[in-house]
Chain A
Amino acid sequence: MGFPHKLHPKETAVLSQHFGDADARTFKGWTKRGGYEALAQALKSDPVAVTDIVKESGLRGRGGAGFPTGLKWSFMPKEKKRPHYLCVNADESEPGTFKDREIMRWTPHALLEGTAIAAHAIRAEVAYIYIRGEFTEPWTIMERALGDANAAGVFGDIKIHLHRGAGAYICGEETALMNSIEGKRGNPRIKPPFPAAAGLFGLPTTINNVETLAAVPHIIKRGAAWYKGLCLSNPKSTGTKLFSVCGHVQRPGNYEVTMGFPLKDLLYDMCGGPPAGRTLKACIPGGSSVPILTREETEACLLDYEGVVEKGSMLGSGGVIVFDDSADMVYQIMRLARFYAHESCAQCTQCREGTAWTTKIMERILAGQGKPKDLDLLLDLSENMTGKTICVLSDSCAAPIVSGIKKFRGEFEAYLAGKRQPVMVG
């Protein structure tokens, strides 16, 4: 439901049905609502059977990449010779995204239950939930929920631990997250080897996002066919998805809709559209790392993995950032580039230099000191930042720059031509 707002009739509340209900947070309240039944059912089943249900459901990773969850689980070694690990990515830091925070705040047991089911499916004895350091409230809630669930002994032989991050966006990258749990700097690793072969502590590991795992108990309980049936567009994108909407809308918040839902309805019907007297200018549909959409593209976009790609962007994490006609796109794109410059782990030259350099060029444009060739230079740098590094942080910085120059070139040119008052000091 549209937390902090009331449930909208067009929503399909599965993950969010208990948002705002403090009783559902407690172990007793959760079991009263049917919680931990799916886990009990899963623990009695063969791990392969559990994996097959998730495969059949069509569930795909909700952290951004959209990789089929059941298929990922099936990559774990068939014959278990060494310990297996599960990592849960609760390092939610992608600008525009705040759904996992709400899942942990209101339904901590949904995440714990999904985590235990996944650990059983991949035959892991230990799971680490990596929560970003700034999430103080979700941490406290998760810690209490874990204590209560452990006291009730619902996890069988599976051990779940919480691990607190310490301020680093890059630790949301799966291999950086593993390094961080190992007590290292959060530098992403070169792949292959992939985590299923050599992950945490060099052992077979699966890593899943919070929202992905929170959906698992529902799938086990209600069946793959039910989940697969939640689909408004194409059978490759199934289930419900939480969309975090922020920026220039009247009712920002989390909204849960069935895959294939029109972005236009989400923004105008549910979120109330831009503030009175304003019109929508642009939208970033999947967290700051994906290309920017124009108003026309936004209003024609269907929210599923393929639908957003068709319009030239990506579904990503489902963090929807809305800009109205008052937004200075040059300033905001600079601000995003500055974010990536700040968060680059600095391993790869293209990223370390590219994120900083593109930020500086946009800062000088905003200071009225841009050079005529600056836009070409930004595009050239962006090309060299795409597909050439260990992880995709560099690509993520380039995405809004390239799409921004392509779609809002006039705003950049206005600064270059001295037609816009400089907003920064050079």
Chain B
Amino acid sequence: MTVMEDYQPVFTGKVLEELQTVLQRYPNKQAALLPTLWIAQREHGWISDRIMAEVGEVLGLTPAYVKGVVTFYTMYHQHPVGKNFVQVCTTSPCNICGAEDVLKALLAQTGAGDAGATSPDGKWTIVEVECLGACGFATPVLINDDFVENVTPDKVAELVRKYR
């Protein structure tokens, strides 16, 4: 492996201590992989190949194994995302309540333009996701960790102002 001199390991100090408490919940290290990846993403913003290697090192897994797991789950970012990561549900129950119009309004008003792309100012990444499990509150939108219910196209401008 090429030595990446500017790479700052994630699992040091307090974060390493946090990992130790996570490990106590499971009978083996591998089982802590999902929570460990969550910590890594919280600290670094996304899961790079180098982070996968570090996670593998601390849990005794190969980088390839870690990558196999990361790529299975949609919530681990394999590329950097905007400051605001926005997930819009467009599955049937929300779809018939106008979810596609909410998505369009978000893409247009944030400048992200296309689902999955990041706006030129780096502030917004809007993605279309499957069922968020809040179908009675169509359309639910998850902005970072904030779960916003009953979003309609006319409420999008206010949301964009709030998180900009």
A163 B35 Cβ-Cβ under 8 A: yes
* A/B interface sample: 27 pairs, CB < 8 A: A93-B133, A95-B130, A98-B135, A133-B73, A134-B87, A136-B147, A163-B25, A163-B34, A163-B35, A165-B73, A165-B75, A166-B74, A168-B72, A180-B34, A183-B32, A184-B69, A185-B69, A186-B73, A201-B31, A246-B136, A247-B92, A247-B96, A252-B135, A319-B135, A335-B91, A339-B91, A339-B92
CA distance A169 to B132 in the complex (A): 10
Known interface pairs A185-B68, A288-B92, A335-B95. Does A132 touch B133 (Cβ–Cβ under 8 Å)?
A: yes
Known interface pairs A98-B136, A183-B69. Does A169 touch B31 (Cβ–Cβ under 8 Å)?
A: no
Chain A 158-182 near chain B by CB (<8 Å), digits 1 or 0: 0001011111110000000000111
A183 B136 Cβ-Cβ under 8 A: no
Q: Which of B10-18, B111-119, B138-146, B152-160 contacts the other chain?
A: B138-146
Chain A 310-348 near chain B by CB (<8 Å), digits 1 or 0: 000000000101010001000010011001001101000
Residues of chain A contacted by B91 (CB below 8 angstroms)? 95, 288, 335-336, 339
Q: Which of B25, B37, B133 is close to A161, meaning CB atoms less than 8 Å apart?
A: B25
Q: Which of A98, A166, A254 is close to B37, meaning CB atoms less than 8 Å apart?
A: A166
Chain A 73-106 near chain B by CB (<8 Å), digits 1 or 0: 0000000000000000000111111101100000
Q: Which of B25, B61, B73, B135 is close to A95, meaning CB atoms less than 8 Å apart?
A: B135
> Lowest 10 CB-CB distances: which A-B pairs, in order?
A183-B33, A167-B75, A166-B73, A167-B74, A246-B135, A252-B136, A185-B72, A183-B30, A166-B75, A95-B131
Residues of chain B contacted by A137 (CB below 8 angstroms)? 147
Residues of chain B contacted by A165 (CB below 8 angstroms)? 34, 73, 75
CA distance A165 to B87 in the complex (A): 16
* Further 7 A-B residue pairs, CB within 8 A, beyond A97-B133, A134-B129, A136-B145: A98-B136, A164-B35, A165-B73, A169-B131, A182-B31, A185-B68, A252-B138
Residue numbers of A with Cβ under 8 A of B are 92-98, 100-101, 132-137, 161, 163-169, 180-186, 201, 244-248, 252-254, 288, 319, 321, 323, 327, 332, 335-336, 339, 342-343, 345
B135 A167 Cβ-Cβ under 8 A: no
Chain B 82-114 near chain A by CB (<8 Å), digits 1 or 0: 000001001111011100000000000000000
Known interface pairs A95-B135, A137-B147, A321-B135. Does A168 touch B73 (Cβ–Cβ under 8 Å)?
A: yes
B28 to chain A, nearest CB (A): 8
A96 B96 Cβ-Cβ under 8 A: no
Residues of chain A contacted by B31 (CB below 8 angstroms)? 181-183, 201
B22 to chain A, nearest CB (A): 10
Report if B19 contacts A (CB, 8 A): no
B151 to chain A, nearest CB (A): 14
CA distance A201 to B38 in the complex (A): 22
Residue numbers of B with Cβ under 8 A of A are 25, 27-28, 30-35, 37-38, 59, 61, 68-69, 72-76, 87, 90-93, 95-97, 129-138, 142, 145-147
With most chain B CB atoms within 10 A of its CB, the pick from A101, A132, A183, A244 is A183
CA distance A133 to B129 in the complex (A): 13
Known interface pairs A95-B93, A166-B34, A335-B92. Does A134 touch B69 (Cβ–Cβ under 8 Å)?
A: no
B133 to chain A, nearest CB (A): 5
A342 B133 Cβ-Cβ under 8 A: no
B93 A246 Cβ-Cβ under 8 A: yes
A167 to chain B, nearest CB (A): 4
Known interface pairs A321-B92, A335-B92. Does A98 touch B134 (Cβ–Cβ under 8 Å)?
A: yes
A149 to chain B, nearest CB (A): 16
A133 B69 Cβ-Cβ under 8 A: no
Residues of chain A contacted by B138 (CB below 8 angstroms)? 246, 252
B96 A201 Cβ-Cβ under 8 A: no
CA distance A93 to B89 in the complex (A): 12
Residues of chain B contacted by A288 (CB below 8 angstroms)? 91-92, 131
Known interface pairs A166-B34, A185-B68. Does A339 touch B93 (Cβ–Cβ under 8 Å)?
A: no
